[in-house]
A and B are shown apart, each in its own frame.
Chain A
Amino acid sequence: VKQFTKFHKTIYSVSVFLLCFLILCVSGCGNTRSSLDNHEEATSGIETQTGTKDQAISKTAGSSVEIKLYYPDADGRKLVAEKRSINTDQEDKYTASMHALLSGTRKKGSVNVIPAGTNLQSIDVSNGLATVSFSKDLGRKTTGGSTSEKMIVGSIVNTLTEFPEVKRVRILINHKSIDTLNGHMDLSEPFSRMSELL
């Protein structure tokens, strides 16, 4: 009986070890796309430094980058720039800038317009086009209205086009193309910088 249990124990520990190894592999793979399921995963720091695709990572590791975030003024007439330092140790600068934007304004006189609880799902930049996907909270209807919609879209588009290599921005919900957020704006095509809101 004793031998039997010893044998079982060995099998048990070996399988636990294999399982851990497998989990590590899977999470590592997931992160190479800088695709994140939610905020927590993005900040929990399980990312392994496999992401050489996003240029900024290795170059700026350990340092912080100064960026501009855009939030509407209290009256919803204009977007106001807000300087923020982002840490690019754990995530690329695009992901970090979107997380910073979602975390809300710290500037007096600016207000938040992106619905609370909205999560960043993924962001990918290639050939000047940033494709960014959010959870469906971004289009929550109760806060509707064209000014809200315009400011939500504008704050995302103008924050991302602050990076000189980003010329256009496409907004997705649940990784799918959308026609509109709240029934006013046509979101089926990418947006260039919305300078009319500045």
Chain B
Amino acid sequence: VSWLGLLLMTVAGAGVLRLGLGGARCGARWLELGGGFVLGFVLLGAMLGMLEDVPLAALRWPGLLGLVGVALASGTLLAWRTRSTERAPRPLPFQREGLWPLLLLALMLLLFAALLLLQVWSLPTLAWDGWNAWLAKLRAWVEARHLLPAVVFGEWLAAPAGSTLAVAGAAYPEALPRALAWLLAWHGGWNERLAHLPWAVLWPALGALCYGGLRGESVPRLAAGLTCLLLLSLPLVTAHVVLSGYADLWLASLILLALLVLLRFGRTPGWGPPALFLVCLILLPQIKLEGAIYALLLAAAALLWRLPAALRWALIGLVALLPLALWLGWTVAVPAPGLGWVMLRSGAVELPIIGVLELHWRPVAGAVAHALFVLPSFSLLWYLVPAVVVLRWRRALGSQLAPGLAFLAGAGLFHFLLFFFTEASAWAENLTSLNRLLLHVVPSWTVMLCLLLAEDEISGTQRYGRFAKSPRPPASA
């Protein structure tokens, strides 16, 4: 039943993706397979968020009907929709890219998959610190056999016994624990291996999403496969799979999906990509609160690059003047999707749910540099990022990759402000939150690096090349 449940989520998510992006591009099946699982899982959790204070068993049929409904609706709309005018570039035959390197890559991926699955299946849940937030809520619901409201300790103490559940991360979004609760509702009780299973599936799903996304941008198989292997073998990625229970890899995967959709703007015709992009933005804060910030940054990147160049740079200049406005004592309100209004004022930022963060410089550069460039968590990624950006930024700004890079620059700025100006600096020093937040953009950066490096090879041939407001037909089709 669990595997069927995971399959159904994938089918529903893949249907939504096919509807949004069309299925004509290279690698579309991979993208639908990987992205479909991620999207379907989070979508199910978000849908089940409408059910409050219900018995665990009551999740079963609404969840099932929801997934079947999404799958059927997508299928129906696909059948009715006008056929896409986009045609896929013809992929090169396997032999032209070298069959043996591809087989070697596949073998390494299979080896990694086997080793990780063995650990996910064997290791116990690590239920403390940041790892406590998501599975702890799930287990509380499953043991109580009821989705009681999760509250902080003080509220739990004040409430009548048995009416609430005390959870360390009570205010955290519930899409993941609810989707997991749906799986466990069919099982009937707590099962640690079953609770870990979606993380084991997330690993290949992220790989398929990465591979499919790159193939969709006409990156050759070998380069796409190698990028996929490098991403999936990053020590922090494997750690988040093996020590199942944390939400960051889910958030990172959905951010990657949103980024890939963003890159299709202006090339895949119709309302599909914008609608799918909007779905991703709505779902991001359902995984983690930080998702609201990323959604805001993605939305800003998408909007900015639809504007005429003069207006775009004027707006960027206006944002650059923000520190001056704050210094003059103004309060600036910025909407964060799913979170509410973020109030910026001189020396402080006020976030809904999280509270007021005092802003001043914290000397954590050494700890951050150690995490990025010395410890093995990210391998050589953060060495490669500045090198490739410096070499390619001029070309990239004039290409379809520009909004993606703008988003990643915005995310970098967000991390910089968070760790160098707020109390989160303490988490930079103990390497906990720092690594987890950087992980959010790791898949996106990995894919972006591959696209930047492959730009010469693919621009003007199979991809559409430089950014244009109105789509041009593919040159090679």
Chains A and B come from one and the same complex: no
Q: Which residues of B are at the interface with A, using a C-beta cutoff of 8 A? A: none
